Structure 1
């Protein structure tokens, strides 16, 4: 075990532990932006700097291993001053329109700037805006990118798709789609991991809510909404409702109050998916020599996209059955309109999905 002192507290941790990890064992949280344990430990943001007694230079807590007898100060005037300067430099290349940002109120950079009391940026602003297809489901806003590399590392090390990469050098360094291709031509399967791990609003989902309000206001449209199991399980978390109040009935009532005409559960379409896939499997078993084995499910569009883009030789193994979401949309436009005496063009089928 290695013994050291952090902010006056005695700490004993195994050899190889970083200062950041050691501090966490005694409840000391060192600020960071780029750090992801085991994924992104490259000290790109330089926000986690700490002062070590007897050393002239500050060190990054996320990459510096502990040593016997170290005396560490995580919030000394020197460490705090350098941390503040580093955050100010990051902000000088960041679009600070927080009020219209999807991450407002849930942004690591915003929180850090407030904690450090940064209300003015003393450096010249240099915010780069590069074009992006705003109709693509994944939106990248280059004006907000802080070059933390989280998206690069999560895509490379966890998803193994290698969609993002570092572009340019020096002060012009940024992150963009790898291989000098557009996001549409990349192997992106729209898993959303890069969005989840972006600490700011540089990556986000396309917002379709305004389109929904337009449809709800159109009296010529009948709105049919399907809700995925994951959504009805977690929908009330945003409202801080306890589990006993987060009932399906209340969710349906809320959707009706918003203006949706019919509310359905995607579980029904999932049952249809299983029946269709099982039926297809039975057909394959009758003539096994005519088909590729094993037969893979096709219930997730992201999975189908992934296979098509990265493992095309497995495409013949995929079931031809649509996903539950797509099956429900087809049923809404066919079976449901017959039951209700409507025309398919009068129906707007809307999906609330994770």
Structure 2
């Protein structure tokens, strides 16, 4: 494997020639801000938050898509890069609803984190703002278009599973938005409620509806658990308060893990003390159902009940 040496903020890094500047920086403990980058997804380069100065280049370069070169000298926090990031953040906040105090994503939102870091605030203006277009049709996903920053992570995460690819970009320019299916509601679309999109959304545009308004990020204790429904072992985070399981949210679908509704519900039933009723989609409509039907174990339970009524002679009867 060919390696190169470069200098990032005065630190010398010797890394694979196949890495990007952003990846090289993180390998030596330098965190370059990014809203659209995810190491498990394709490079999209949409947010422009990760721009850096590279010696010899007149323009700022996106570190998420620029490959390292031997002898490269990179500066990540210059006046020029900071001003560029502030401009990006200001434009995003100008189109964003000022509801951080009540947003479910507060405390975990990357937009909130970077606005605080670079001292960028909401301001009054007479310009356009993103329309709300709230979609509440799903019992599993809540979509708020007004909070979307068009990072593309939800579209890319959904497209990684070949038989899904439900999300896409629609319209152009300032009217660009994320749609489900053929611009349908989540309920009407082919969405299977796996929550891959929710797991990668960096803001409050897509949130887990079964956790909505139940607990704030900083109020709960968190424990990562693995789903046992299949060999993938998808990871979820259990949010608890005073040892009571309040909610369950999907972790990012890394390492090929697909995430699925059945596995999520099975894990939720196991770890959440008072889970909400499950739903399943029938003919394009969500209907409330029983846990055995949601998990596909009705026949198994019936057989177990039948066998328990006729126990094996000499077996355990307690």
Structure-1-length-normalised TM-score: 0.61
TM-aligned CA distance change 1:75 to 1:210, over 3 Å: closer
Q: Quick check: 2:46–2:151 contact (8 Å CA) kept in 1?
A: yes
Deviation at 1:324, TM superposition (A): 5.2
Q: Does 1:128 align with 2:131?
A: yes
> Which residue number corresponds to residue 87 of structure 2?
85
- Check 1:15–1:235 CA distance in 2 against 1; reply closer, same or farther (3 A cut): closer
More helix by share: 1
Distance 1:138 1:326, change over 3 A: farther
Hey, what's the Cα distance between the residues in 2 that align with 1:89 and 1:53?
A: 28
1:50 alignment partner, SS class = strand
> How many pairs does the alignment contain?
248
Question: In the TM superposition, what whole-angstrom CA distance separates every residue of 1:238-292 from its partner, at most 9, and x where no partner exists?
Answer: 45x8xxxx5xxxx49x9xxxxxxxxxxx89x99xxxxxxxxxxxxxxxxxxxxxx
Under a length normalisation based on structure 2, what TM-score does the superposition of the two structures give? 0.67
8 Å CA contact 2:98, 2:122 repeated in 1: no
Distance 1:229 1:200 in 2: 24
Cα displacement (A) at 1:208: 7.8
Contact 2:138 2:187 (8 Å CA) reproduced: no
Between structures 1 and 2, the one with greater strand share: 2
Change (3 A) 1:66 1:179: same
Q: Max radius of gyration: which structure?
A: 1
d(CA) in 2 for partners of 1:23 and 1:168? Answer: 35
Equivalent in the alignment of 1:26? 28
Other-structure match for 1:62:
64
Cα offset, 1:207, TM superposition? 4.9
Distance 1:160 1:23 in 2: 35
How far is 1:187 from its partner? 1.2
Given that 1:40 and 1:149 are in contact with CA atoms closer than 8 Å, whether structure 2 keeps it comes out as: no
2:149 corresponds to 1:146: yes
Q: Distance in 2 between matches of 1:175 and 1:209?
A: 21
In structure 2, C-alpha distance between the alignment counterparts of 1:177 and 1:138, rounded to whole Å: 12
Q: Is the 8 A contact 2:134 2:143 kept in 1?
A: no
SS in 2 for 1:12: strand
- 3-state DSSP of counterpart to 1:87: helix
Are 2:192 and 1:189 aligned? Answer: yes
Cα distance change on mapping 1:64 and 1:182 into 2, 3 Å = same
SS in 2 for 1:165: strand
Structure 1 325/27 Cα, relative in aligned 2: closer, same or farther at 3 Å? same
Which segments of 5 or more consecutive residues in structure 2 lack a partner in the other structure? 215-224, 228-235, 247-265, 271-277, 285-291, 303-318
